[in-house]
């Protein structure tokens, strides 16, 4: 009777022991997660990892929809695996905090833009220079107010947005005020 019980239960007991015991002696111990701000490695969504704001991606609307509605647009071209984009992510999060209701903020990964034709001014590929990060500010008529490569200063972007919207510059000298890092942002949307 004991032999029958062991024959039926042994596989389940072995599986249970393998899942409960750490197995560093077999080389099967899990590796620690490594996210690196200064390397060109893929770590996941850079806005949730490095800016504490995963609500930025995907954008609320397309460039074509925003332009048809006559809304000012801020496009930020980035790559999740580029260290320059990772370091710039908090600036984009700050732009959402300062201007989120006044402009369409569109962080766009450039993976889908590479090696494809430009389909005109309502296509994000039309404005992309091939570098990341890149910031493009368009006013409500589609006029380019700012097109700059690299880590563009927040004050420079704020000035272009202010000119595009007619709204005054934000208080606090336009300096970044985000101090928390890796916080959880969640939005409840009712329909």
**Is the per-residue pLDDT at 59 higher than 70?**
yes
| pLDDT digit string, tens, across residues 128-159 | 999 999 999 999 999 999 999 999 999 999 99
Q: Which helix (H) or strand (E) holds 108?
A: strand 104-109
Read off the pLDDT band of 36 (50, 70, 90).
Answer: confident
Place of tokens 């997660």: 33
- Predicted local confidence at residue 177, as pLDDT: 47
| Cα–Cα distance measured from residue 182 to residue 115, given in angstroms and rounded to the nearest whole number | 33
- How many Cα atoms sit within 13 Å of 36 on the Cβ side? 9
- Predicted local confidence at residue 108, as pLDDT: 94
Neighbouring-strand partners of residue 4: none
| Cα–Cα distance measured from residue 20 to residue 62, given in angstroms and rounded to the nearest whole number | 48
Q: What angle do CA 39, 96, 104 make, to 5 degrees?
A: 110
Read off the pLDDT band of 187 (50, 70, 90).
Answer: low
- Predicted local confidence at residue 180, as pLDDT: 45
Q: Which CATH architecture has domain 46-165?
A: 3-Layer(aba) Sandwich (3.40)
Q: Which helix (H) or strand (E) holds 147?
A: strand 144-149
Instruction: Tell if the pTM clears 0.75, that is, is over it.
Output: no
Per domain, the residue ranges of the chain are 46-165
Mean pLDDT on 164-169: 94
């Amino acid at each position: 009777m004991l032999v029958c019980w062991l024959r039926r239960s042994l596989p389940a007991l072995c599986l249970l022991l393998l899942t409960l015991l750490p197995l560093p002696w077999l080389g099967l111990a899990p590796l620690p997660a490594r996210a690196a701000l200064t390397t060109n490695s893929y770590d996941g969504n850079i806005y949730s990892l490095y800016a504490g704001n995963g609500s930025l991606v995907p954008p609320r609307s397309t460039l074509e929809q925003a332009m048809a509605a006559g809304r000012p647009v801020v496009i930020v071209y980035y790559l999740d695996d580029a260290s320059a984009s990772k370091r710039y992510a908090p600036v984009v999060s700050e732009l959402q905090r300062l201007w989120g209701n006044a402009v369409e903020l569109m962080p766009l990964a450039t993976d889908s833009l590479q090696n494809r034709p430009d389909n005109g001014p309502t296509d994000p590929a039309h404005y992309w220079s091939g570098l990341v990060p890149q910031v493009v500010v368009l006013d409500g008529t589609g006029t380019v107010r700012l097109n700059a490569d690299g880590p563009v200063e927040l004050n420079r972007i704020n000035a272009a947005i202010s000119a595009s919207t007619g709204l005054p510059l934000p208080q606090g000298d336009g300096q970044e005020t985000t101090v928390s890092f890796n916080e959880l942002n969640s939005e409840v949307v009712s329909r």
